Structure 1
């Protein structure tokens, strides 16, 4: 048996409507996993049904689920439906997240709360719901953080805070849950070409400065995150828990 395989595994991915989440959903499906990709609105995940009709992938499947991680109880309901159908949920990938380009002194209360509710509280609620549902079987959690949870950055104070919190949550849950056959790791992408970095791409001077800070001299692509995620979800990482895997083109090496 290939220890790197995710074939036949059931995987829930939050924030799967676009960007990194979409790339992960497609890749896990292509590798034979049964993927449940979540978005906050039905129209944001409609592409999953369209792909299911037009693309034949032996063994794998991709199903869309509407889930707003800021709503208490919402993740538990989705997880319960998946387990009722599949019998288990092998892996949870917490990818839902939002950002802003607001100076630290410019934050309004509602903007700050929205980022905290989605990035940290949403991830924590979903982890709790998954652990509660899978406690007897164990499972794997991958929390998508960011290198901005490890280093600071301008116009990202609350985002940095929430991603740092996600990394520490990963470590804390490891100390509590790993003895019950759970593995909890974090994936920390660097500057990645998604909607979240759209404002940077519209400012050539800022983009040039950012690229100079990346040893590989390019932004990451969503698909650059796939290999690390597949590894963390597979049996090849069976003795890894509480770790932060950085995929950033070398930024944090400097």
Structure 2
């Protein structure tokens, strides 16, 4: 297989939730490999660190503000990117939040916020992208979770939102294939970010969790870069409606 299939040089890519964690790792990786990466955070201060990064100086990492909770935020940003590059080659919906609250104790505001960011935010961005490029085609990568495939305590709403993202991915892949759009998802397992701090702070909980992973470790954010590169490149040109699981074998147990 030719390595040119994996070439992402100068592809214009927008990724939400890029200020930290998985999004940060993916944004830096894609920019290092030649893509024009628009790395979005919800607040100006959350992306300020990018302005002093060498990839920004080299013109490949572009910090931008996008609040996925706002109706027009994604649409406005997508049009700005298209005005510079003529098209947006890939949209990565990565923004997400989680809690570790019992189902009976979660507050209505927290539930609405999680649904708004994890599911509605991704859906709004997909809509905006399709409307902007329905005559040209496009490529969407939705960051889901293995908790959209399996259940776990203290994450009822989070599991629900990620399950919704997976089903949305499949539905849009079918509906938009005729317009040249590919829509896929990545389902990470437990990743070493601040979203899993509640697990890492309790040694007994951490040890119990690691027992459910055949590789006996949490993922690093960088472990998600390979699957993302594949889906963002022409190597996956005939792949749509799929969920790539990156979990160290957890869902094989």
TM range (shorter): over 0.9
Match of 1:69 in 2: 68
- Contact 1:52-1:61 within 8 A present in 2 as well: no
Structure 1 outlier segments of 4+, above 6 Å? none
TM-score, length-scaled by structure 2? 0.97
Output the CA distance in 1 between the equivalents of 2:54 and 2:84. 18
Match of 1:226 in 2: 225
Match of 2:158 in 1: 159
Match of 1:252 in 2: 251
Output the CA distance in 2 between the equivalents of 1:62 and 1:139. 21
Task: Work out the number of aligned pairs and report it.
Answer: 251
The 1:240–1:50 alpha-carbon spacing in structure 2 relative to 1, beyond 3 Å, is: same
Match of 1:175 in 2: 174
> Residues 72-151 of structure 1 correspond to what in structure 2 (within 5 A)?
72-151=71-150
Q: 1:124: Cα distance to partner?
A: 0.2
Output the CA distance in 1 between the equivalents of 2:56 and 2:92. 25
Match of 1:34 in 2: 36
Q: Alpha-carbon deviations, 1:107-150, whole Å to 9, x = none?
A: 11101000000000000000000111111111100000000000
Output the CA distance in 1 between the equivalents of 2:203 and 2:14. 37
Output the CA distance in 1 between the equivalents of 2:9 and 2:240. 21
Q: 1:53: Cα distance to partner?
A: 6.9
The 1:84–1:152 alpha-carbon spacing in structure 2 relative to 1, beyond 3 Å, is: same
Q: 1:13: Cα distance to partner?
A: 0.1
Q: Give 3-state SS (helix, strand or coil) of 1:137's partner.
A: coil
Output the CA distance in 1 between the equivalents of 2:170 and 2:54. 36
Q: Alpha-carbon deviations, 1:148-171, whole Å to 9, x = none?
A: 000001110000000000000000
Output the CA distance in 2 between the equivalents of 1:109 and 1:123. 20
- Contact 2:50-2:56 within 8 A present in 1 as well: no
Output the CA distance in 2 between the equivalents of 1:19 and 1:164. 21
Output the CA distance in 1 between the equivalents of 2:40 and 2:207. 34
Output the CA distance in 1 between the equivalents of 2:35 and 2:51. 16
Unaligned runs of 5+ in 1: none
Q: 1:49: Cα distance to partner?
A: 1.1
- Contact 2:56-2:62 within 8 A present in 1 as well: no
Output the CA distance in 2 between the equivalents of 1:128 and 1:195. 29
Output the CA distance in 1 between the equivalents of 2:104 and 2:90. 39
Q: 1:52: Cα distance to partner?
A: 3.9
TM-score, length-scaled by structure 1? 0.97
Match of 2:235 in 1: 236
- Contact 2:14-2:39 within 8 A present in 1 as well: yes
Output the CA distance in 1 between the equivalents of 2:62 and 2:87. 16
Unaligned runs of 5+ in 2: none
Q: Give 3-state SS (helix, strand or coil) of 2:53's partner.
A: helix
Output the CA distance in 1 between the equivalents of 2:56 and 2:14. 22
